[in-house]
Amino acid sequence: MGYKGAFSEKGKFTLASGYQVYSNEMISEEWTLDHDFEADPAKPATKSSLGLGGVDPDAYDLSIGDIYADVSVPVGPVKLKSYGQLWMNFGADGKHGQAGSKFPGLPEDNDMGWVVGIDGTYESFKMGLAYSVVEADSLFGYLSDSDFGDGLSKTNKQGWRAQLGYNITKNWSTDFTFLNFERVEDWAAKEDQVSIYQFDVSYKF
């Protein structure tokens, strides 16, 4: 549910909220992972119980509520949009969370996440800066941003994302992204911090 409005001739804002509930089958049942049978017919089907680190399916749920807000306003020739989002997994409970039994914290103490950021556009240029915290049990890790946290963790991560892009034409654009993140709780880690540089060329139909 949400609402879009205006507070001046050019200023705009958005307020929104959402609620997600996932089936417990995501926690307890086994899933067959897809692979190319034609390329490798002898390879057996791989089973994985997404297990979420051995959580108690009778105590742990994925029931996530979130709120979002943004404000857009022109500043001279630059169009700026600031935004923020806060979410919480109300079902995070039990002795162990998604990170497993050795994680130094209870699910109920690691059930929130948030992001704040600002985006700007100037003619064909675009830029953005955001900071995000994703606690260990704040969301379903397999659906988190695959770039933010890559090489470190699906959840239990925090850090910066900076972007710079250019719209070459109406359909073609380029983007350079810098991601720098670390674990919220430092435990059993081979890497404490990871930086990723990413360059994309996109075509929009």
CATH number, domain at 178? 2.40.160
Residue 165 falls inside a structural domain: yes
Q: Is the pLDDT of residue 67 over 90?
A: yes
pLDDT tier at 22 (50, 70, 90 boundaries)? Answer: confident
Domain span at residue 106 reads 2-21+63-203
Domains of the chain: total: 1
Mapped onto helix, strand or coil, the DSSP state of residue 53 is coil
Return the beta strands (E) in the chain as ranges.
Answer: 2-6, 12-21, 31-33, 46-48, 63-75, 78-89, 112-122, 125-134, 157-167, 172-183, 193-203
pTM, 2 dp: 0.84
Query: What is residue 45's predicted lDDT score, i.e. its pLDDT?
Result: 47
d(CA 136, CA 105): 9
pLDDT tier at 56 (50, 70, 90 boundaries)? Answer: confident
The H or E element spanning position 22 is none
Average pLDDT on 22-38 reads 59
Q: Which residues contact 62 (CB under 8 A, 6 or more apart)?
A: 20, 21, 22, 26, 27, 89, 91, 139, 140
Query: What is residue 52's predicted lDDT score, i.e. its pLDDT?
Result: 66
Residue 198 falls inside a structural domain: yes
Residue 35 falls inside a structural domain: no
Query: What is residue 37's predicted lDDT score, i.e. its pLDDT?
Result: 44
